[in-house]
Amino acid sequence: MNKVIVKGCVFIALAVILGMMLMYESKEGEELKDKVTLTEKYFAPGQSDVAVGIKTNKSIEIRDSEEKYCAMEFSNKKIFEVDCDKYLDFTIGDKVIIIYKDNRLIKLGKK
């Protein structure tokens, strides 16, 4: 009977630890989804590290300059670096849905 009680206590303790770990991870890396408006597009001329806004001529620095030489700014004041070719048909003023995690754009789509 003692072995059953000990095993039960160990099982309960491990289940509580697992539950706490799952709750922490879901809060840490939570995906956020926003319905926003595209307010500015930035392009880096000649694959430089500095991108210039189309509408405002504001300059920003591109961090992940491996293949991404463009960025987009949205009405929630977030700026994400994007693939120029993939999102070429998006224009300023478009209503879009963005999904991002840890300040990295995961998905961008039109409403």
Together in a domain, 64 and 86: yes
Neighbours of 27 (CB within 10 A): 8
The tokens for 91 are: 């224009």
Together in a domain, 3 and 45: no
Which domain, by its residues, includes 24?
1-30
* SS3 annotation, 73-107: EECCCCEEEECCCCCCCCCCCCEEEEEEECCEEEE
Together in a domain, 93 and 44: yes
Q: Which residue has the higher pLDDT, 64 or 89?
A: 89
The tokens for 106 are: 């995961």
* Residue among 105, 57, 54, 47 nearest 81 (CA): 105
Together in a domain, 72 and 89: yes
| Count of structural domains, the chain | 2
Q: Which residue has the higher pLDDT, 46 or 77?
A: 77
What pLDDT does 39 receive? 93
Together in a domain, 47 and 72: yes
Q: Which residue has the higher pLDDT, 106 or 65?
A: 106
Distance of alpha carbon 82 from alpha carbon 108, whole angstroms: 9
The mean pLDDT of 23-35, rounded to a whole number, is 70
DSSP classification of residue 47? G
Together in a domain, 6 and 26: yes
The tens digit of pLDDT for each residue in 1-26 reads 788 899 999 999 999 998 888 776 65
Distance of alpha carbon 57 from alpha carbon 105, whole angstroms: 23
Residue 105's CATH number = 2.40.50
Question: The tokens 């620095």 sit on which residue?
Answer: 61
The mean pLDDT of 100-110, rounded to a whole number, is 84
Distance of alpha carbon 63 from alpha carbon 47, whole angstroms: 12
Together in a domain, 21 and 41: no
Together in a domain, 50 and 67: yes
The tens digit of pLDDT for each residue in 52-87 reads 898 888 988 887 656 667 889 999 989 988 887 888
Q: How confident is the model at residue 51 (pLDDT cuts 50, 70, 90)?
A: confident
DSSP classification of residue 13? H
Together in a domain, 26 and 37: no
Together in a domain, 55 and 3: no
